Structures are given as structure tokens and as C-alpha cells.
């Protein structure tokens, strides 16, 4: 199985803890040492795949001193990579964890990427894209990269006659361009807010959950009928949805003490694909259908992740235990 990920706008995610809260306009002293980890959607997917015992190769851009640190932090994960070096420095994102576990994020823009650097990365992708099973791509685009980049990568695969399953986790204009193109992604993973953006409609899950969920499901069905693109939609505390050839399935998240959201959606996406396609088969047997089991594990894995502070991922056994909890109805 050959799996590739691309992170156009990787980051060093620095998490800082302020047990007594943090405020603007004053000196704030952290209550614990800060933690620096790898960041970016594609990178998160590669990390979660590795946790599940699945190899991938990571592509994207890295540069400057931060880029050196990024590649150094990648080494212990034993993840193969073929990043393009850039003149600009890899961005650093700051996550502030408050006294009650709430997270405030300050993300840099990233870039600018030069035309030569962009072409170098696309050349690397083109050299392997014809012999790829899954290609995960997502996240924001740095300065110098247009929102059409994901659409262009999919077309690159189509021009090569590739049978690659392209999975896009993007929003806004990038998502619309992907979905309007002749060659569409195999699957997308919007969250609740991104579905609102895409459809131009509001779905208030808090005030009327059943009605809002039914309306979201109707929208996803229509999108699938029109495009044939599988949709995995995360709904935060309300769980997640799968919409594909088997129909639509919803799994609700268990109640947990939330400590950190970063990487939860990437965990959800990776866990679903791993189980749905038999890449991870360490789950206890249940009577669930393939899509229901995969969605249950996706919700379980992302729920286990949000119990961890900052950018920390849950261990596989914690994901499996959460899956058992969902399977038992709680």
C-alpha cells in the first residue's frame, strides 16, 4: 500500500500553558514548559497513520531554521519525507492553553513560496503519483500558492492515468474549486462550519439538533448524488457523518473532558480510511457494517484525541477503548 500526504503549509506548533489564565496587555508567565510539535493537516495524517502502524511518505514545503527543527522533530516518527526546501521560513503557530483547558490559537500565514519551489514540489509529486493508492492533501495554502493547487494535483494524477484515491481536507475557495473540477477528489472531509460555508446555509445543532442534523444529511446526500464524492463530516461534540454509496451514517461522540482540538479532524479522517479500507484491523469484532465500524472508530479516535492537551495525539489503545465505549452505547 503506497500512501502519500502533502502539507503545503506545515508548522511548528508551540503549545504554552497558563494555569492562571492569560491576558493581553500584561506580562503572562507560563505555568508549565512549552511543547513544540509538528503541525499541518497532511503531517498530522502521516503521524496518525504511523500510530496505527501504516507507512506514508510526506511532501510539502519546509524552510529556514524552523524547517530544520521541523525535519529534526520528524525523525523519531520514522516517517519518510521528500519536502521541498524554501527560502521562506516554516511558520510557527502558538497554542495558548488556559486555566480551564480552553485553547486560543495564533497561526502565522506561511510563505511566500516561489514559482520555482512550487514546481519542484509538483515535480516530486508527479514522479510518484502514477503509483499511489491514497493521496491525502489538506490545510491552508501559504502565500504564493493559489487555492486551485489541490484541484491541479488531482488533474496531474488524472493526466497520468493514476487510480489514486485523492482525499482533500480543505475549505472555502479551495474546496469549491476541487468540487467544480472535471476530475474531483475521491473524498472530502469538511467540518460543520465548512459545510455551512460550502452550502451557504446555517445548521444550528445546539438549538435543534435533530432538525439541523436532518438538514445537514439532506445536503450531503445531494452533494454526493451530484458529484459522487464521498463526504466525511465532523460535527465536534455531535460526532461525525459518512455519506457514500452505502447511504448516510451518523455516530454521536461520547461525553469527555475536552483538553485540545488541534488535529482531531485529521485523526478522524485517518482513522476512518484506515478501517474502511482494511489498513487497520485491530478492532474487536462487532456486527456493524464496514462504514459504521469505520465511522465509529473515526469518532472514537478523534474523541480520544480531544482528551489530550494541545497537539498531543491519543495512543492506539486509547482509541480502541473509546471505540468499545461507542460500541457499547456510551
Phi, psi of 273 (to 5 degrees): -60, -40
Per-residue model confidence (pLDDT) at position 286: 77
19 vs 31: CA distance, rounded Å:
5
Whole-angstrom distance, CA of residue 293 vs CA of residue 163: 25
Alpha carbon 39 to its chain's center: 10
pLDDT value at position 235? 97
Between the CA of residue 111 and those of 61, 81, 154, what are the distances in Å? 9, 20, 22
Bridge partners, residue 167, by sequence? 136, 187
Q: What is the pLDDT of residue 330?
A: 60
Cα–Cα dist 115/329, whole Å: 52
Walk along the chain (330 residues) in steps of 10 and give the mean pLDDT of each run.
96 92 93 93 97 98 97 96 98 89 88 98 95 95 97 95 95 97 98 97 95 98 98 97 97 92 95 97 86 97 93 95 88
Residues 90, 239: Cα–Cα separation, whole Å: 33
Q: What is the pLDDT of residue 7?
A: 97
Q: What does the DSSP assignment read for 314-329?
A: PPHHHHHHHHHHHHTT
C-alpha Rg value of the chain to the nearest Å: 19
Q: How far is CA 61 from CA 21, 121, 143, 169, 275, in A?
A: 34, 8, 12, 18, 29
Domains recognised in the chain with CATH numbers: 3-7+39-65+78-89+115-327 (3.40.1190.20)
pLDDT value for 66: 97
Decide: 42 and 58 in contact? Cβ < 8 Å.
Answer: yes
* Phi, psi angles (nearest 5°) of residue 95: -110, 120
Those residues whose C-beta lies under 8 Å from the C-beta of residue 127, and which sit 6 or more positions away, are none
Residue whose C-alpha cell is 524547517: 67
**Cell for 316?**
492506539
pLDDT of residue 98: 85
Amino acid at each position: 500500500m503506497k500512501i502519500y500526504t502533502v502539507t503545503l503549509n506545515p508548522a511548528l506548533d508551540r503549545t504554552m500553558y497558563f494555569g492562571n489564565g492569560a491576558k493581553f496587555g500584561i506580562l503572562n508567565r507560563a505555568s508549565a514548559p512549552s511543547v513544540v510539535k509538528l503541525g499541518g493537516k497532511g503531517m498530522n495524517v502521516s503521524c496518525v497513520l504511523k500510530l496505527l502502524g501504516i507507512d506514508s511518505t510526506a511532501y510539502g514545503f519546509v524552510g529556514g531554521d524552523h524547517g530544520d527543527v521541523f525535519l529534526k522533530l520528524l525523525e523519531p516518527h520514522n516517517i519518510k519525507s521528500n519536502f521541498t526546501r524554501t527560502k521562506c521560513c516554516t511558520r510557527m503557530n502558538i497554542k495558548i492553553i488556559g486555566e480551564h483547558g480552553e485553547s486560543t490559537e495564533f497561526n502565522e500565514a506561511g510563505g511566500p513560496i516561489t514559482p520555482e519551489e512550487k514546481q519542484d514540489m509538483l515535480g516530486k509529486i508527479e514522479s510518484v503519483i502514477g503509483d499511489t493508492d491514497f493521496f491525502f492533501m489538506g490545510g491552508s495554502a501559504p502565500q504564493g500558492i493559489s487555492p486551485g493547487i489541490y484541484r491541479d494535483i488531482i488533474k496531474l494524477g488524472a493526466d497520468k492515468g493514476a487510480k489514486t484515491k485523492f482525499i482533500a481536507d480543505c475549505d472555502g475557495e479551495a474546496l469549491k474549486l476541487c468540487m467544480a473540477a472535471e476530475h474531483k477528489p475521491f473524498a472530502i472531509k469538511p467540518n460543520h462550519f465548512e459545510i455551512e460555508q460550502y452550502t451557504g446555509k446555517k445548521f444550528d445543532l445546539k438549538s435543534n439538533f435533530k432538525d439541523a442534523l436532518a438538514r445537514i444529511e439532506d445536503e450531503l446526500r445531494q452533494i454526493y448524488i451530484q458529484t459522487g464524492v464521498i463526504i466525511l463530516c465532523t460535527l465536534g461534540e455531535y460526532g461525525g457523518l459518512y455519506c457514500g454509496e452505502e447511504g448516510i451514517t451518523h455516530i454521536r461522540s461520547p461525553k469527555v473532558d475536552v483538553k485540545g482540538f488541534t488535529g482531531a479532524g485529521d485523526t478522524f479522517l485517518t482513522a476512518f480510511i484506515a478501517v474502511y479500507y482494511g489498513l487497520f484491523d485491530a478492532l474487536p469484532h462487532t456486527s456493524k457494517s464496514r462504514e459504521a465500524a469505520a465511522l465509529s472508530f473515526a469518532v472514537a479516535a478523534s474523541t480520544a484525541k480531544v482528551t489530550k492537551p494541545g497537539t498531543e495525539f491519543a495512543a492506539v489503545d486509547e482509541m480502541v477503548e473509546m471505540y468499545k465505549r461507542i460500541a457499547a452505547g456510551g
